[in-house]
Amino acid sequence: MKFVDKLLTATRQNNSLLCVGLDPEPARFPAPLLREAVEHAIVRFCWTIIEATAPYVCAFKPNMAFFEVLGPDGLHALQEVIKAIPTHIPIIIDAKRGDIGNTARNYASTLFNVYGADAATVNPYLGYDSIAPFLAYQDKGIILLCRTSNPGASDFQGLLVQDSEGQTRPLYEVVAHRIQSWNTAGNCGLVVGATCPHELRMLRALCPTMPILIPGVGVQGGDLCEAVTAGIDAHGERAIISVSRSVLYASNDEDYAVAAANEAKLLRDRINEARHGK
């Protein structure tokens, strides 16, 4: 099944645009888990979060950095965590890979063939040849950084540049136009932060049918309602609202699974209020 079809199926089945990011930080785990080996604690924590929140999500998003930091044990933990994600829910691996030639081919193969991701975040700023090996996986989602949620995004992404037609546009808009031209298989998406709702609204108008992964709600300061109304398509779909810490660490006590489920349901319901009230 193609990524977009799997995403829409999960969205409709769970009535959800919520994506829970899996960013395990052992120092924030409940005390009983701290008595286990770190790899085992991460797997147990993520398994519990997945089981508790699966009814309320359209996707899960493991972040490679939180697993890679532990070396081989962390990568083994990532594989175990991925196995626990229900097969009908898309797996978006947040890797932000981007490189040339054989390197990009190996990155793509790792994410899609080794880890079995349905989609991956990719950095487009090295140009088409760095993206082509990912695009070759036509049933996978290639979600490209466009206007990110971090404070330093404006250092480069907001610079005014001339496009191929001589018009002056912000760099992120030129990137979005270029991604549209690469989207021949319909497997591209954008990463656009909730911290920039005006740009999100403009990019949704520019790319009306692409999935948009929207991080930055909550801890980073993005407004949930604004992000939803700016990011959804004409059918109230194809926006992937990514939330990590407020769900994962809703409690640092033994009730963390119940707290995570309650927070995920609350967010799912708030998102639905916003998207149906548009």
Note the pLDDT tens digit of each residue in 17-65. Answer: 999 999 999 999 998 898 899 999 999 999 999 999 999 999 999 999 9
- Of all helices (H) and strands (E), which one includes residue 19? strand 18-22
The verdict on whether 96 is a catalytic residue reads: yes
Helix, strand or coil for residue 258?
helix
pTM, two decimals, is 0.96
In sequence order, what E strands does 23-159 have?
59-62, 92-97, 119-122, 141-147
pLDDT (tens digit per residue) in 233-261: 999 999 999 999 999 999 999 999 999 99
Work out how many domains the chain is built from and give that number: 1
Report the distance separating Cα 132 and Cα 137, nearest Å.
9
φ/ψ region of 76 (left if φ > 0, alpha if ψ in -120 to 50, else beta) reads alpha
Candidate list 61, 96, 140, 265, residue with the active-site label: 96
- 119 and 91 Cβ atoms separated by less than 8 Å: yes
- Quick one: pLDDT at residue 278? 52
Residue located via tokens 């810490």: 245
Q: Which residues contact 273 (CB under 8 A, 6 or more apart)?
A: none
Task: Specify the CATH number for the domain of residue 71.
Answer: 3.20.20.70
For residue 113, what are the domain limits? 3-276
Angle formed by the axes of helices 256-276 and 224-231, nearest 10°? 50
Q: Which two tokens stand for residue 226?
A: 């604004």
